[in-house]
Structure 1
Amino acid sequence: MPRSKSFALSLFVVCLLVGASFAGAASAHAKLVSATPAAGSMATPAPTELKLKFSEGVELKFTGVKVVGPKKDAVATGPATLDPKDNTLLIVPFKAALPDGKYTVDWHVLSTDGHKTKGSYSFQSMQ
């Protein structure tokens, strides 16, 4: 194979590999990795806050959490914060003790790479 064709083929392969790596990074989304209280769990004693761990960093300004209680009413929460050492860990305090019952957590986040994701899970609380 002539040298110029070999170089052109090598350059083409490198471009494909670089493009594929950018495409993989661009398609990433912040997924909920773990939660405290955990999905489907029985929290005893009743939790005082939620901790939501994501697969990548999230933008606090464009992130929200809504918690609905056993009587289908919204649960009062304080302002959400990110762990100062870990922008993948969202902390949402409850303003008051949670009565016994089932709670649903609806969340939405904007990851630091600009992708939006959302989800929902439930847990039980018992004093």
Structure 2
Amino acid sequence: MNNKYLFTAAAVLLASAMSSAAHAHAKLEASVPKANETVATAPKEVRLQFNEPLEMAFSKIKLVDGRGATIDPLKLAVDKDNAKVMVASLPALASGTYRVQWTTLTRDGHKVKGEYSFQLK
């Protein structure tokens, strides 16, 4: 093998790796309450942990009850100790099924959204 071939192969591999990293999107890694969890005590907050730091100005969490009514968080913020965690303080919740709907923009400019459900006994 000649050096020109090795250099070209290395450049292609590097460009491919950089392209994959540039197109990565934030992913929800953990949540409290967890998806499909049944909890006995009403949660005071929803915590969503992502794999990338968040831009709170372009992020939100919405809670929807079983009747389809929206329950707005009392307060929404990024965790002061972890820029990858979004926290929504909740009002008192009644028993029932809830959907957590979220939207966020990561610092790399990618907007992502998702939802999951949990149940309160």
**TM value normalised by structure 1:** 0.87
Aligned to 1:125: 120
Matched, 1:34 2:43: no
Partner Cα separation in structure 1 for residue 74 and residue 56 of structure 2? 14
Describe the superposition over 1:7-52 as per-residue Cα deviations: whole angstroms up to 9, x where unpaired.
3222212211220121121121111111101111112210010000
Structure 2 unaligned segments of length 5 or more: list them. Answer: none
Select the structure of larger CA radius of gyration. Answer: 1
Matched, 1:116 2:80: no
Kindly indicate which of the two structures has a greater share of residues assigned to strand. Answer: 2
Q: Kindly, what percent of the aligned residue pairs are identical?
A: 32
Paired residues, what number? 121
Aligned to 2:93: 98
Name the Cα RMSD after superposition.
1.4
Displacement after TM superposition at 1:71 (Å) = 2.6
Kindly indicate which of the two structures has a greater share of residues assigned to helix. Answer: 1
- Structure 1 letter corresponding to 2:17: S
Residue 62 of structure 1: SS of its match in structure 2? strand
**4+ residue stretches of structure 1 with deviation over 4 A?**
none
Partner Cα separation in structure 2 for residue 70 and residue 49 of structure 1? 18
Of the candidates 8, 12, 15, which is equivalent to residue 8 of structure 2? 12
Displacement after TM superposition at 1:90 (Å) = 0.7
**Mean CA deviation greater in 44-53 or 78-87:** 78-87
**Mean CA deviation greater in 65-74 or 43-52:** 65-74
Describe the superposition over 1:37-91 as per-residue Cα deviations: whole angstroms up to 9, x where unpaired.
1111112210010000112222111111111113321113123111122111110
Partner Cα separation in structure 2 for residue 78 and residue 13 of structure 1? 54
Counterparts of 1:4-83 in structure 2 under 5 Å? 6-83=2-79
